[in-house]
């Protein structure tokens, strides 16, 4: 099991490195694919993955990704791009409103076939998966984004690794949560400190001309906290629907959402930290 998990992790990291370095349509396509598969896994928890509203959700996600990711490519500072960027913002809001109307129309036409909680999950999925993941692409296209985007993975996978190691070595006090019976307070603290340290070292390695290395440590530490919340949120959804994993797509890890649950939460946080700090 450990070997399978390790090999899968190596393959995932290789794909992530290749797509993030290459950027463009490769990263665009990867994020779109992850979004659709993630939605399928989420919709399956409420038995909507093969329904007509579910199909509408996948189509809406693809169009939403096209709008979101095309808008991200307009981040360069020109007047023409600023105008087009503002238009894309309006298109995105319009598309979300139209999608909600379509979902509700299907709900009332097919009533009582679907429950309100199922329709709510369809809408929730578009924000939780599609919109949140789009910030990976958006961060990739800010200045120095090819470096900043790795802060997302430091806050997710780096934090997870540090938390696991510290928890195994010195963890004694269990977290006061039914969602995390194996997690310890020491492990969680180790994840935060470890991610902050990795962020600091990352700045030392790639941003030697800056005097604000502490900002990267803050991003790493805060991202670790958000990462752990994202992980527990995914666990809560699975517990509510009596499932162990979202899927079996990634050997040793489960489904797309099992592996990307933290990244979904961290991506927008890192993006806005980079903007806020003016990095």
Burial class (CB in 10 A: 0-12, 13-18, 19+), 229: middle
Which structure tokens are listed for 117?
A: 């909680």
Mean pLDDT over 211-233 rounds to 89
Kindly state whether residue 64 falls inside one of the protein's structural domains.
yes
Same domain, 241 and 196: yes
Of 217, 229, 210, nearest in space to 268 by CA: 229
Q: What is the dihedral of CA 241, 129, 32, 228, to 10 degrees?
A: -100
Beta strands in the chain (DSSP E): none
Number of domains forming the structure of the chain: 2
Same domain for 80 and 132?
Answer: yes
Last residue of a domain, one of 109, 141, 173: 141
Determine, yes or no, domain membership for 233: yes
Q: Identify whether residues 279 and 155 lie together within a single domain.
A: yes
111 falls within a domain: yes
The answer on 196 and 131 residing in a single domain is no
Chain-wide mean pLDDT for the chain? 86
3 found inside a domain: no
pLDDT in tens, 8-37: 767 877 888 888 888 788 888 899 999 999
Quick one: average pLDDT of 238-252?
84
Residue 51 lies in a domain: yes
Same domain, 69 and 160: no
* Residue 171 maps to a domain: yes
On whether both 129 and 158 belong to a single domain, the answer is no
Same domain, 125 and 181: no
- Residue 6 covered by a domain: no
Degrees, nearest 5: CA angle 155-159-163:
160
**DSSP summary character for residue 157:** I
Indicate whether 151 and 279 sit together in one domain: yes
pLDDT tens for each residue of 122-157: 999 999 999 999 999 889 888 888 889 999 988 888
Supply angle C-alpha 75, 129, 138, rounded to 5.
10
Terminal C-alpha separation, the chain: 41
Is it the case that residue 78 has pLDDT exceeding 70?
no
Residues 33 and 134 in one domain: yes
Residue 202: inside a domain: yes
In this structure, the answer to whether residues 151 and 114 fall within a common structural domain is no
Q: Give the domain range for residue 124.
A: 22-141
- Tell me what pLDDT residue 152 has: 92
Taking each helix axis from N to C end, the angle separating 213-240 and 185-206, rounded to the nearest 10 degrees, works out to 140
Residue 131's pLDDT is what?
93
Same domain, 132 and 175: no
Same domain membership, residue 127 and residue 37: yes
pLDDT recorded at residue 141: 84
Domain stop point among 88, 116, 141: 141
- In three-state secondary structure terms, 137 is helix
Boundary-marking domain end, from 107, 141, 175: 141
Which residues, 6 or more positions from 179, have their beta carbon under 8 angstroms from its beta carbon?
232, 235, 236, 239
**Residue 83: predicted pLDDT:** 62
């Amino acid at each position: 099991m450990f070997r399978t998990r390790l090999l899968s992790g190596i393959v995932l990291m290789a794909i992530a490195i290749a797509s993030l370095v290459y950027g463009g349509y490769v990263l665009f396509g990867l994020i779109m694919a992850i979004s659709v598969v993630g939605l399928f896994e989420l919709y399956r928890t409420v038995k909507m993955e093969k329904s007509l509203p579910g199909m509408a959700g996948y189509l809406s996600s693809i169009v939403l990704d096209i709008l979101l990711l095309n808008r991200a490519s307009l981040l360069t500072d020109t007047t023409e791009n600023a105008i087009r960027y503002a238009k894309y913002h309006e298109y995105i809001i319009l598309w979300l409103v139209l999608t909600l109307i379509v979902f509700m129309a299907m709900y009332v036409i097919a009533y009582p076939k679907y429950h309100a909680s199922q329709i709510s999950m369809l809408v929730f999925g578009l924000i939780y998966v599609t919109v949140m993941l789009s910030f990976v692409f958006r961060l990739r296209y800010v200045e120095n984004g090819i470096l900043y985007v790795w802060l997302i993975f430091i806050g997710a996978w780096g934090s997870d690794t540090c938390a696991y190691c510290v928890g195994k070595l010195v963890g004694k006090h269990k977290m006061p949560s039914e969602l995390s019976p194996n997690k310890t307070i020491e492990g969680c603290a180790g994840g935060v400190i470890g991610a902050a340290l990795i962020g600091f070292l990352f700045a030392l390695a790639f941003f030697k001309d800056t005097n604000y290395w502490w900002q990267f440590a803050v991003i790493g530490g805060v991202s670790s906290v958000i990462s752990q919340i994202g992980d527990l949120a995914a666990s809560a959804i699975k517990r509510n629907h009596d499932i162990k994993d979202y899927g079996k797509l990634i050997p040793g890890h489960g489904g797309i959402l099992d592996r990307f649950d933290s990244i979904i939460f961290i991506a927008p946080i890192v993006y806005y930290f980079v903007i806020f700090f003016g990095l």
